[in-house]
């Protein structure tokens, strides 16, 4: 990878390489855009096969956070960290303390949180060295486990999609096929069940499936069977890239809306489902409840306030549909356009402000 060429092409601001020999820390912090505010994005620990693979992942994820935060209406930019190592065997206190010192050195330009391979406990360790970390333990006045709040955001996003697809956001009597019944999806199923939706579920974890069957009256199906079931809404809540050439022909749902990241295997699959008359809710818009929740910690966490902000996902999803219809583009492109328009508006506003300030100063001279 030609790093500077890549950064220029996608307008990245900064990449920081961090290492600590004593603890074994090898980390990459990528800051994509801070137009809206400090870059917020989690720390992922993964056993990457190469340093180049880690760098590419950090850059890709950082850009995704710019769009996610912008679309969520947050006054935050996008960044991400990857730590190279096996999260099961390579973690130690010294590593996260050293990483916390690197974050502190950025003086608030980047704020981190947990991600794949890291935990609330890891964030607490980072917090020993810096205040620029979210998702720490409630004992510190923070939000703790984000899964219930993420699920609530997906739930209100599904309601907005139902309004667009069926003319009403009421989910009573609707059938929702939920792929994956992990932490987020379990809470999503609870919300759907309480509103009277019928659930079809699948997961590799048979205990998680049985829990949904017992508590919510869900019908269980095999992993590969979930795509072709008769349902109104398909909610991918596990793996990415599940909307692809093999699965699309099986779909009977009118709406795709779930918590999983990167649901489209390729962008073109967003075009395909649109042409089939299936309404796709872009994942980074509907699953933003977690980042909205941890962002509230920056103001002194208040759960009621955070949940009120998460309810705004309903309007954000509706705005995506509005742009899609206005510009005759697929919804995944409309979500990007919504984020880009917000960033562009603030850039213009700042530019005009600076021009006015320079004009005033020149007149004083």
Task: Kindly give, in sequence order, each residue whose CB lies less than 8 Å from that of residue 96, ignoring residues fewer than 6 positions away.
Answer: 122, 125, 126
Query: Using CA atoms, how far apart are residues 266 and 268, in angstroms rounded to an integer?
Result: 5
Query: What are the φ and ψ backbone dihedral angles of 304, each rounded to 5 degrees?
Result: -60, -40
Q: What is the 3-state secondary structure (H, E, C) of 108-119?
A: CCEEECECCCCC
- The answer to whether the beta carbons of residues 283 and 263 sit under 8 Å apart is yes
CB atoms within 10 A of CB 304: 7
Query: Using CA atoms, how far apart are residues 307 and 328, in angstroms rounded to an integer?
Result: 32
Query: Using CA atoms, how far apart are residues 124 and 113, in angstroms rounded to an integer?
Result: 10
Is 80 annotated as catalytic?
Answer: yes
Query: Using CA atoms, how far apart are residues 333 and 327, in angstroms rounded to an integer?
Result: 10
Copy the structure tokens of residue 176. 């929702």
Query: Using CA atoms, how far apart are residues 2 and 9, in angstroms rounded to an integer?
Result: 11
Task: Kindly give, in sequence order, each residue whose CB lies less than 8 Å from that of residue 5, ignoring residues fewer than 6 positions away.
Answer: none
- Residue of 26, 63, 68, 80 with catalytic role: 80
Please state, in angstroms and as integers, the Cα–Cα distance from residue 100 to each residue in 83, 111, 141, 274, following that order.
12, 10, 19, 44
DSSP run (H or E) holding 19:
strand 14-20
Say how many residues make up the chain.
Answer: 365
> Which residues are part of the catalytic machinery?
80
């Amino acid at each position: 990878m030609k790093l500077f060429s890549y950064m220029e092409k996608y307008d990245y601001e900064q990449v920081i390489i961090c290492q600590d020999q004593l603890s074994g820390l090898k980390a990459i912090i990528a800051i994509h855009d801070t137009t809206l505010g400090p870059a917020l994005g989690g720390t992922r620990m993964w056993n990457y096969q190469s340093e180049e693979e880690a760098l590419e992942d950090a850059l890709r994820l950082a850009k995704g956070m710019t769009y996610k935060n912008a679309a969520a209406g947050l006054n935050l930019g996008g960044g991400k960290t990857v730590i190279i190592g096996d999260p099961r065997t390579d973690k130690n206190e010294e590593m996260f303390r050293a990483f916390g010192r690197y974050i502190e050195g950025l003086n608030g330009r980047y704020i981190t949180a947990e991600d794949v391979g890291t935990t609330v406990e890891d964030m607490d360790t980072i917090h020993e060295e810096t205040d620029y970390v979210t998702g720490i333990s409630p004992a510190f006045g923070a939000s703790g486990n984000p899964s219930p709040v993420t699920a609530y955001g997906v739930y209100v996003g599904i309601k907005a999609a139902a309004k667009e697809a069926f003319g009403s956001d009421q989910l009573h009597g609707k059938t929702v096929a939920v792929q994956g019944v992990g932490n987020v999806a379990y809470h999503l199923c609870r919300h759907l069940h309480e509103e009277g939706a019928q659930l079809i579920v699948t997961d590799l974890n048979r205990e998680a499936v049985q829990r949904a069957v017992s508590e919510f009256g869900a019908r269980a199906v095999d992993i590969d069977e979930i795509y072709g079931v008769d349902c109104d809404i398909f909610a991918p809540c596990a793996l990415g890239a599940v909307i692809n050439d093999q699965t699309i022909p099986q779909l009977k749902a009118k709406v795709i809306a779930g918590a999983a990241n990167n649901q489209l295997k390729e962008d073109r699959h967003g075009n395909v489902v649109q042409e089939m008359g299936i309404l796709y809710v872009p994942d980074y818009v509907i699953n933003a409840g977690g980042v909205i929740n941890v962002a509230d910690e920056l103001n002194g966490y208040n759960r009621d306030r955070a949940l009120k902000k998460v309810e705004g996902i309903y309007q954000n999803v509706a705005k995506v549909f509005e742009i899609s219809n206005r510009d005759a583009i697929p919804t995944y492109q409309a979500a990007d356009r919504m984020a880009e328009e917000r960033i562009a508006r603030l850039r213009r506003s700042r530019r005009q402000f600076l021009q006015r300030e320079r004009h005033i100063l020149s007149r004083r001279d």
